[in-house]
Structure formats: C-alpha cells, structure tokens
C-alpha cells in the first residue's frame, strides 16, 4: 500500500512542477495546457494523467482487498446496522434474532445483548418480552392482586414501625381536656427489608424447521407468541409457588410461609382442613385491623380444597323453607335470599370478602411442609389481608441465552430465558391466617 502511495505522490509532484513551468512560460492558467500547450507538453501531461489514474486505481483495489479480507475474518454484525434507540423492538429486530438463533451465530446474539439492559445475555425482542410479562400476569394469581415494582438493583427498604402522636390543640387553659402538653414525636423507621431478586431460568427447545417457518411471511409474530406462551406459563407457575411458600432466604418470601404471619386462627396441632368451621373464618377476618379491611385489595388467598370445604359448611338450625332456610342448609351460598349466608348474597366472596385461589397453599397430605409433604404444625391453610402490603420486585429486563449445539443432532436450538424477582411482606399487621 505504501509503494502505491509513494508513486502517486511522486507523479503528483512532477505534475505540479510541469504545470508551474507552463504557467511561468506562457502566463496562462495551468488548465489551458490542453489547448495552448505545445505538442510535447500535451503528450507529457497526457502520460502523467494516465500514470496517475493507474496508480490511484491500484491503490483503491489494494484498499478494497484489505477491507474484504478483514470482513471475512471479522464479519459485520447485522445488529450494528441500525442505530435507532428502539432497535430492540419491531419485526426487523425479531427477524435478525430468529435468524441468529437458526444459524447459531453467537457473535450476532452477543452484539444484540448491547440492546438490552444487562450485558450478561442477549436481549430478546421487546415484543416477546412484553408478551411474556403480560402472560405472566394472566397466569400468576399473586401478581394480579399484589403490588408489582420494577427495580434495577438490590436494595434495602426502610419500613415505618411506629406513627407519631397526635394531640388536641386547646385555645385556652379552661378548655375541656386541656392539661396534656403536646410532645413532639416522629415516625419510627426501625425495620429494614432487603430486596435481592432471585434468578430463574426457563428453557424452550425450538426446531430448525420451526424457526425457518417463523421467518417466512407473517410468521414472526406467531412464533414469538408461541415462545412467549411457553416461557410465561413456566415462569409464572414457579414464581407463584415462590410468592406463596418461598422461605425468603435465597428465595422470594411467600405470603403463606409457615411462621411468617403472627395473627393466626389455629385449628389445632396438625389439624386437618376438615375441622374448619364458620367461626374460624369470621375470627380470622376480624383479626385484621378495620383500617386494612377497607382496602380494595383486601381479600382471601387459599387453595381450591379450602374453598370446597368452606362451601360445604352447613347450619345446624331447624326451620321451614318459608323462613328462608332448612335443616342442614349450606352456610355459604351465592343466592340473593340466603339467610345466614357468610357472603350476604354476593357471589365469589366468603364472609363478604373476595378470594383468589392458589394451587400452592397447603391443603391436604402431600402439600404440606412436613416430611413427605405432610401437613405440619403452623402450615397455612388460608390468608386474608390487604395485599397492598405484599410487594413483588422484578429486576428490569428479561435476558436470553442460546445453545445451538447440545441438541444439534436433532436440529434443535435451546433458548434459555432468565428472569429475576423477589417478594416481601411489608406489613404483617395487614394479614391474618388460618393455620394447622
């Protein structure tokens, strides 16, 4: 490359000297040499023009060859072509992402990781991330009834543990109730709750044929829907389990964790759910302060087995049908004329409180925290409370990792999708539980 440049510089130098000599001899502008110069000068300049063009062409070809050689060893990644701030969204990005998945081009996926919020994995298309989050909300019961926050790091949250004192202000010393001087006091923030999101991974296998068909006309959206549905259902089920009975140490803290809540209605040591009575239901609701019971998020959380047991509770009163009840009539009924009904005639409530059903709350043998799933002392059968005080903390972004090799013999690529989340009960006084 340097030889061609030197040759160009030498020819150019001679060219300029000759033009200067022509201008000095004739007093004419150098560009008139073609029309005013002598034959020898015209021939000389024509030869120098040809030499200069040839040298420039050789230099350009050498530069192009060097660039192509570099491209072959370090290919330009498609994801670098677009500089838009929203380049992780839309069909264009999804098309590149699926193409990289199909070809196992890890360099492309690594480059796409710069489009996400975390450099540890490749960002999945925004549309698919949105679908995953929406489906997780639809599948996960506790996500629907609790407060969900998005955070970008670990954090400690300081919780108020005592309120300041309020005093009556008297206009004169003779006013009734005067005599107690106002003493300044401040809210006490004595409790710190640590939030440390736990990482979860979901694996989805995709065949080469599936990815190829997805990249075809109008296939990207349906492909992302399929992958999002598989990932979301699996993630939501695991999150739901952790939000319900997680131990809070290395896992999210579950609202129905054995020993977490202090306001409990105990059915008796390892008592079976069949011993439940209407009094237990009423007592549990009234263990929660009325200030929390007025919240629109105040509700029950229990298993389907608990709901079945509660609905089978019957009265022991005798009477006539004209009086509105009969002997051994069900206490819980959704009818509008149900005398002695715990719902007051409102469907989908127990004792006037709406409910949600979780499959992970202990109810029968095999679902408890004891050995071999036995119901242990303190296992929670039902929780009632203001779920404004149960919070979920999702780490920003969903990451992905592609493995095109492990199942290559079956023409399959494995997609690993990672999510990070945590949950905490922020105020135990807002909840009560029915326990074994």
Residues 384 and 273 in one domain: yes
Q: What is the pLDDT of residue 305?
A: 94
Q: What is the pLDDT of residue 216?
A: 52
Taking 70 as the threshold, does the pLDDT of residue 210 lie above it?
yes
Write the pLDDT tens digit of every residue in 254-312.
999 999 999 999 998 888 899 999 999 999 999 999 999 999 999 999 999 999 999 88
- Indicate the SS3 state at residue 380: strand
Q: What is the pLDDT of residue 103?
A: 58
Residues 208 and 268 in one domain: no
98 within domain boundaries:
yes
Q: What is the pLDDT of residue 154?
A: 72
Q: What is the pLDDT of residue 73?
A: 60
Instruction: Report strand pairing: 298-302 vs 380-386.
Output: antiparallel
Measuring CA to CA, how many Å separate 347 from each of 16, 68, 121, 174, 353?
98, 72, 47, 55, 10
Q: Which residues form the domain of 40?
A: 2-73
pTM for this predicted structure: 0.64
Q: What is the pLDDT of residue 323?
A: 54
Residues 390 and 323 in one domain: yes
pLDDT higher for 214 or 54? 54
Q: How many domains does the chain have?
A: 3
**Domain end point (choices 73, 103, 122):** 73
Residues 98 and 212 in one domain: yes
Average pLDDT of the residues of the chain: 75
Average of pLDDT values for 127-144? 75
CA distance linking residue 143 with residue 289, whole number of Å: 24
Distance of CA 254 to the CA centre of its chain: 19
First-to-last C-alpha distance (Å) of the chain: 85
106 within domain boundaries:
yes
Nearest to 264 by CA among 145, 384, 165: 384
Residues 232 and 278 in one domain: no
Q: What is the pLDDT of residue 107?
A: 56
Place of tokens 């990644």: 77
42 within domain boundaries:
yes
Residues 11 and 115 in one domain: no
Residues 68 and 129 in one domain: no
Out of 35-39, 174-178, 181-185, 420-424, least confident range: 174-178
Average of pLDDT values for 399-423? 85
CA torsion sign, 289 to 295 to 297 to 303? positive
395 within domain boundaries:
yes
Place of tokens 């990289």: 100
184 within domain boundaries:
no
Residues 119 and 241 in one domain: yes
Residues 364 and 392 in one domain: yes
Out of 110-124, 342-356, 364-378, 415-429, least confident range: 110-124
197 within domain boundaries:
yes
Taking 60 as the threshold, does the pLDDT of residue 82 lie above it?
no
360 within domain boundaries:
yes
Report the 3 state secondary structure along 13-60: HHHHHHHHHHHHHHCCCHHHHHHHCCHHHHHHHHHHHHHHHHHHHHHH
Q: What is the pLDDT of residue 401?
A: 78
pLDDT higher for 129 or 26? 26
**What crossing angle do the helices spanning 90-103 and 220-245 adopt, rounded to 10°?**
80
Average of pLDDT values for 320-330? 58
51 within domain boundaries:
yes
Q: 83 φ, ψ to 5°?
A: -110, 15
Q: What is the pLDDT of residue 196?
A: 86
Residues 330 and 381 in one domain: yes
**Residues 416 and 203: beta-carbon distance below 8 Å:** yes
CA distance linking residue 339 with residue 367, whole number of Å: 35
pLDDT higher for 279 or 211? 279
CA distance linking residue 101 with residue 105, whole number of Å: 7
Residues 347 and 223 in one domain: no
Q: What is the pLDDT of residue 117?
A: 42
**pLDDT range class, residue 115, cuts 50, 70, 90:** very low
Nearest to 376 by CA among 386, 388, 362, 387: 362
Residues 394 and 313 in one domain: yes
């Amino acid at each position: 490359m340097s030889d061609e440049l030197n040759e160009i510089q030498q020819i150019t130098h001679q060219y300029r000297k000759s033009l200067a000599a022509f201008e000095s001899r004739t007093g004419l502008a150098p560009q008139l040499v073609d029309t005013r110069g002598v034959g020898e000068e015209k021939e000389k300049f024509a030869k120098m023009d040809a030499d200069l063009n040839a040298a420039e062409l050789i230099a350009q070809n050498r530069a192009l060859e060097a660039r192509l050689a570099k491209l072959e060893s370090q290919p330009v990644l498609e994801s670098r072509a677009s500089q838009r701030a929203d380049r992780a969204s839309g069909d264009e990005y999804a098309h590149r992402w699926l193409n990289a998945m199909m070809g196992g081009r890890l360099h492309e996926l690594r480059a796409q990781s710069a489009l996400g919020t975390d450099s540890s994995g490749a960002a999945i298309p925004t549309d698919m991330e949105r679908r995953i989050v929406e489906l997780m909300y639809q599948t996960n019961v506790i996500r629907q009834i609790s407060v969900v926050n998005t955070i970008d790091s670990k954090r400690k949250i300081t919780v108020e543990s005592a309120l300041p004192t309020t005093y009556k202000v008297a206009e004169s010393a003779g006013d009734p109730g005067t005599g107690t001087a106002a003493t300044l006091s401040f809210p006490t923030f004595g409790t710190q709750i640590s939030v440390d999101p736990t990482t979860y991974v979901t694996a989805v296998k995709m065949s080469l044929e599936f990815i190829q068909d997805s990249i075809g006309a109008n296939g990207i959206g349906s492909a992302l829907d399929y992958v999002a549905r598989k990932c979301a259902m699996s993630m939501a089920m695991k999150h739901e389990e952790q939000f319900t009975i997680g131990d809070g140490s290395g896992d999210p803290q579950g609202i129905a964790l054995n020993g977490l809540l202090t306001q409990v209605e105990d059915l008796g040591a390892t008592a079976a759910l069949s011993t439940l009575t209407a009094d237990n239901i009423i007592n549990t609701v009234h263990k929660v302060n009325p200030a929390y019971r007025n919240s629109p998020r105040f509700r029950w959380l229990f298993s389907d087995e608990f709901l079945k047991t509660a609905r089978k509770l019957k009265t022991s009163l005798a009477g006539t049908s004209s009086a509105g009840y009969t002997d051994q009539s069900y206490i819980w009924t959704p009818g509008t004329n149900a005398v002695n009904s715990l719902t007051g005639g409102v469907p989908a409530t127990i004792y006037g409180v709406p409910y949600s059903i979780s499959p992970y709350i202990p109810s029968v043998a095999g679902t408890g925290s004891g050995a071999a799933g036995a119901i242990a002392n303190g296992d929670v059968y039902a929780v009632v409370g203001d779920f404004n005080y149960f919070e979920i903390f999702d780490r920003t972004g969903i990451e992905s990792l592609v493995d095109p090799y492990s199942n290559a013999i079956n023409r399959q690529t494995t997609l690993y999708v990672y999510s990070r989340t945590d949950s905490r009960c922020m105020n135990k006084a807002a909840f009560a539980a029915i326990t074994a």
